[in-house]
């Protein structure tokens, strides 16, 4: 990771929107990103040569519920363990700062479930099922 620098901080709106698109996540509007990013509880970015090439965020109420979101790495930088570094930093921060009774959730797309399992995340089905409402 010597060519890469992991920094605690919320990504800039333009970096956030770009990283979501190039990594295959859904597009977010400019206004949605501008409204949402300041409400980040904790986030990290990965820089390479001055460019932001990776990110991850934790959102939530600061006490009872948190969600890991927006894990994204530019395709040209994937396969170098950067996703693992991002998730580890987020989980380490949660373990250090979230209350003992907090509930931390995430949605794992495809094989990402195997990455998250390395950090203690487990499927909640059949006791619970993840659900979503998309506003278009």
Domain CATH number, residue 80: 3.40.630.30
Residue 36 exposed, middle or buried by CB count within 10 Å (0-12, 13-18, 19+):
middle
* Number of structural domains the chain divides into: 1
Residue 123 located in a structural domain? no
Could you tell me if 93 and 128 are in contact, meaning their C-beta atoms sit under 8 angstroms apart? no
Residue 28 in any domain: the answer is: yes
**pTM (2 decimals)?**
0.93
Taking all residues of the chain, what is their mean pLDDT, rounded to a whole number? Answer: 95
17 inside domain: yes
pLDDT at 1 over 70: no
| Structural domain that includes position 12 | 4-117
pLDDT in tens, 19-67: 999 999 999 999 999 999 999 999 999 999 999 999 999 999 999 999 9
What confidence tier does 2 reach under pLDDT thresholds 50, 70, 90?
low
DSSP one-letter code for 75: G
In a domain, 127, yes or no: no
| Percentage of the residues of the chain whose pLDDT score is greater than 70 | 99
135 within a domain of the structure (yes/no)? no
Q: What is the per-residue pLDDT for 134?
A: 86
In a domain, 26, yes or no: yes
Domain contains 8: yes
Report residue 14's pLDDT band, with 50, 70 and 90 as the boundaries.
Answer: very high
pLDDT > 90: percent of the chain: 88
């Amino acid at each position: 990771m010597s060519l890469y620098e992991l920094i605690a901080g919320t990504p800039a709106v333009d970096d956030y929107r770009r990283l979501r698109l190039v990594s295959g996540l859904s597009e977010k509007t400019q206004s949605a990103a501008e409204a949402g990013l300041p409400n980040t509880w904790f986030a990290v970015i990965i820089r390479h040569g001055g460019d932001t090439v990776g990110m991850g965020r934790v959102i939530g109420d600061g006490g009872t519920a948190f969600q890991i979101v927006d894990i994204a790495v530019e395709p040209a930088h994937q396969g170098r363990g950067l996703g693992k570094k991002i998730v580890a930093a987020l989980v380490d921060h949660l373990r250090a700062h979230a209350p003992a009774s907090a509930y931390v959730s995430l949605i794992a797309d495809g094989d990402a479930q195997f990455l998250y399992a390395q950090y203690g995340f487990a499927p909640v089905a059949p006791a619970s099922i993840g659900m979503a409402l998309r506003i278009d």
